[in-house]
Amino acid sequence: MSFINIEIKARTNKAGEIRKYLLANHAEFKGTDFQTDTYFNTTKGRLKLRQGNIENNLIYYERENQAGPKQSNFSLLELTNPEALKAMLAAAVGIKTRVEKQREIFFIGNVKFHLDILQQLGSFVEIEASNKYAPLSPAALNEQCNFYMNEFSIAPGDLINISYSDMLLALPDQAG
């Protein structure tokens, strides 16, 4: 099944303040996940296998690289045997890169929040307003994303226009 996110990713040094805001506004804390995202070679979009102690999914998505709220069209498949699928995909199409992160996961309604730490890249916040959890239009999802960007005082200069995988691939000796 396909869904839409309107999402942002931003550098942050205010994870503690954002966490306090989320908890004060009755966000549901899903836990801290230690995730490895394995990205596979594709001819279009991105295909990643997420393995964690909370989330284990195969995710295909298409998204423009741009700062600020952007639409991501995605399909998600929950997995019970991610290692077997990873071996199969690695043999068939090859691995592009791997991203390892510590991720705190929160929800307020249909909006998902991530507080991420990546050893080589630093600390980030992600906001994902999704129609996966509520039948909302892209315009309504964009409004939600902008609302939380304002609430978290995310400055335009903090916004990231590419994925963690692209950021890591730009570092020396990080492919594969």
- pLDDT recorded at residue 1: 67
Block residue for tokens 């307003």: 129
Q: Which CATH architecture has domain 2-169?
A: Beta Barrel (2.40)
The pLDDT of residue 68 is: 82
**How many CB atoms neighbour CB 155 within 10 A?**
11
CA distance 55 to 35: 8
The pLDDT tens digits for 45-104 are 999 999 999 999 999 999 888 778 888 889 999 998 999 999 999 999 999 999 999 999
Domain ranges of the chain: 2-169
The stretches of the chain forming alpha helices (DSSP H) are 15-24, 82-93, 138-151, 164-169
pLDDT for the residue 63: 87
Long-range contacts: 82-89, Cβ < 8 Å, 24+?
A: 82/49, 82/51, 82/56, 82/58, 83/51, 85/49, 85/58, 86/38, 86/49, 86/51, 89/38, 89/40, 89/47, 89/49
Confidence of residue 173 (pLDDT cuts 50, 70, 90): low
Mean pLDDT of all residues in 163-173: 88
Distance (Å, rounded) from C-alpha 149 to C-alpha 159?
10
Please give the Cα distance from 63 to 150 (Å, whole number). 22
* Residue 175 clears pLDDT 80, i.e. is over it: no
Q: Strand, coil or helix: what is 1?
A: coil
Q: 36: exposed, middle or buried (C-beta count within 10 Å: 0-12, 13-18, 19+)?
A: middle
Looking at residue 64, its pLDDT comes to 84
Dihedral over alpha carbons 64, 10, 127, 22 (to 10 degrees): 180
Q: What is the pLDDT of residues 9-29, one digit of tens each?
A: 999 999 999 999 999 999 999
Q: Let me know if 32 is exposed, middle or buried by CB neighbors in 10 A (0-12, 13-18, 19+).
A: middle
Is the model's pTM score more than 0.85?
Answer: yes
Q: Is 156's pLDDT higher than 70?
A: yes
